Structure 1
């Protein structure tokens, strides 16, 4: 049996700068599931993109203009959204904020 990681501490992973005002850190993952934290400065953009993974996102802080498959809605702190596999999506931070994203399967491109 392979070693399994059941726990992750907040300071266990480093932040990666993706673009000005936009950072990411992988919190924990298995081959089937991954949890990632994204930090955004006000006005920062998570550019429109798509991927084969299913994604669910929780707004831990701030508010975001979220676009999924051409539909845009503002999602504030405590809100969530789901992005089905293959749909084009992106966000704009309306204020400083953080998203907690979960992907299935894991995003190998983030490791």
Structure 2
């Protein structure tokens, strides 16, 4: 890894659209960890799913209905949540908003 790999310009991060009303871009990653910004339009849904990665998320903007392992909470800007490996989880944006997701290890499928 070179020093230039340690910093990612906002101009270098490319947006993809994994679900209707949802855009995501990889902010930075190493094999052990990944940080991703996810933008949601109002009422957009991040469908329930599970993965072996540990996920920690920060509500950077807006408010979300977050469901983890059958438990649902409403979280607003400044709140956070963590998802242990393999628990089913998903979100619904109650208003336009953004999440900052961190994964360990990195999500290799996001790199394709």
- Shorter-chain TM-score tier: over 0.9
Q: Which moved more, 1:4-13 or 1:47-56?
A: 4-13
SS of the residue corresponding to residue 58 of structure 2 reads: strand
Q: TM-score, normalised by structure 1?
A: 0.95
Determine the C-alpha separation between the residues in 2 that align with 1:96 and 1:54.
Answer: 25
Instruction: String of CA shifts for 1:65-90, please: whole Å, max 9, x gaps.
Output: 00000000001001000000000000
Q: TM-score, normalised by structure 2?
A: 0.95
Q: What are structure 1's unaligned runs of at least 5 residues?
A: none
Determine the C-alpha separation between the residues in 2 that align with 1:45 and 1:71.
Answer: 16
Determine the C-alpha separation between the residues in 2 that align with 1:28 and 1:75.
Answer: 25
Q: May I ask how many residue pairs the two structures share in their alignment?
A: 110
Determine the C-alpha separation between the residues in 1 that align with 2:10 and 2:59.
Answer: 17
Determine the C-alpha separation between the residues in 2 that align with 1:106 and 1:6.
Answer: 15
1:53 aligned partner: 53
Determine the C-alpha separation between the residues in 2 that align with 1:54 and 1:20.
Answer: 24
State the shift of 1:3 in Å: 3.6
1:76 aligned partner: 76
Is 1:98 aligned to residue 98 of structure 2? Answer: yes
Determine the C-alpha separation between the residues in 1 that align with 2:48 and 2:2.
Answer: 36
SS of the residue corresponding to residue 6 of structure 2 reads: coil
Q: Which has the higher helix share?
A: 2
